[in-house]
Amino acid sequence: AINQMHRYRDALIHRSKFDDRGFVKTRPVFGAYVLYPGYFNQLCEHNPYSVAINEVGIGAFSLLPQVDNKGSHWLSVFLQQKLGVPEAKYPYATSERYFVEDAARIPGKGYSIAHYQGLTILASQLGPDRNQEYINQFENGDARFYHTKLIAFERQKVQQHIATEAHYLAVALDVDDGVQRRVDYIYPILKAERVQRGNLTEKQTGTPVFANPDEWFWLFSLGSALRLKIPLWQQRKVHFELKLVSRDDLTAGYGWDELPELYSSLVKE
């Protein structure tokens, strides 16, 4: 019966459409438990399945009709902890590699998972052939969209989970005739979605020019910009580069190459 609970819980997956390439998966089931008629002094003894219940959400509860509800004490306490304590907290995963695996990243339906608070995508350039109005928006902190090729994320092993977890985005812009680049603003990410290039507008991209209308891009819709007290400087990078960093570290006076990176054990250049 315990093994069946594993199968039932793990088989129930809710899928909602993310885009034409895939779906967002969520678990509508938090746990699965067997109720059985076993006699214990539940006020003094521990549930023999408590370890499994706490660690994997699979287990069993003894349930018998007894005076003063002594035969349902374990189940009653469990339900109070799960449903009646609004301050209940769930621990973070201890391993980044485990945390981004599909099974670990499937949240309960209606919930989202974030391993790092303030996770920021830092892009090394705006991109070629952007019109001046689009560039001015980023220079003045008025940008509303940023896009880049999906393959650029995949090349650095930035998975969908990480891209959609990020809360902020910052882009380095050319200064001093392109000798250096500088980050002055960070933007809250309102929405991250994968879109084919032919479905993106010039307002979203800053250019009407593209090679392949079927190529996939990440499109980030941006909120009101936050200006950095200390700009982040970068010696001009030849190739496009992504960094995953903390928003707090962006304001700490680091240089581009000294910035501590998040998910560093997974992201490869």
Q: What's the average model confidence in pLDDT over 113-121?
A: 83
pLDDT tens column, 203-262: 999 999 888 999 999 999 999 999 999 999 988 877 888 899 999 998 888 888 899 998
pLDDT tens column, 148-159: 999 988 888 787
State residue 6's pLDDT score.
Answer: 79
Q: What's the average model confidence in pLDDT over 61-77?
A: 87
Mention the CATH class of domain 119-258.
alpha beta
Using CA atoms of 103, 108, 110, 113 in order, give the dihedral in degrees to the nearest 10: -60
Domain boundaries, the chain: 2-89, 119-258
pLDDT at 99 over 60: no
Q: What stretch of H or E contains 62? A: strand 58-62
pLDDT at 74 over 90: yes
Q: What's the average model confidence in pLDDT over 53-70?
A: 85
**168-171/119-123 β-pairing:** parallel
Q: What's the average model confidence in pLDDT over 3-9?
A: 81
Tallying the residues shown for the chain, one arrives at 269
Q: What is the pTM of this model?
A: 0.64
How distant, in Å, are the alpha carbons of 65, 133, 199, 208, 218 from that of 70?
Answer: 8, 72, 63, 72, 56
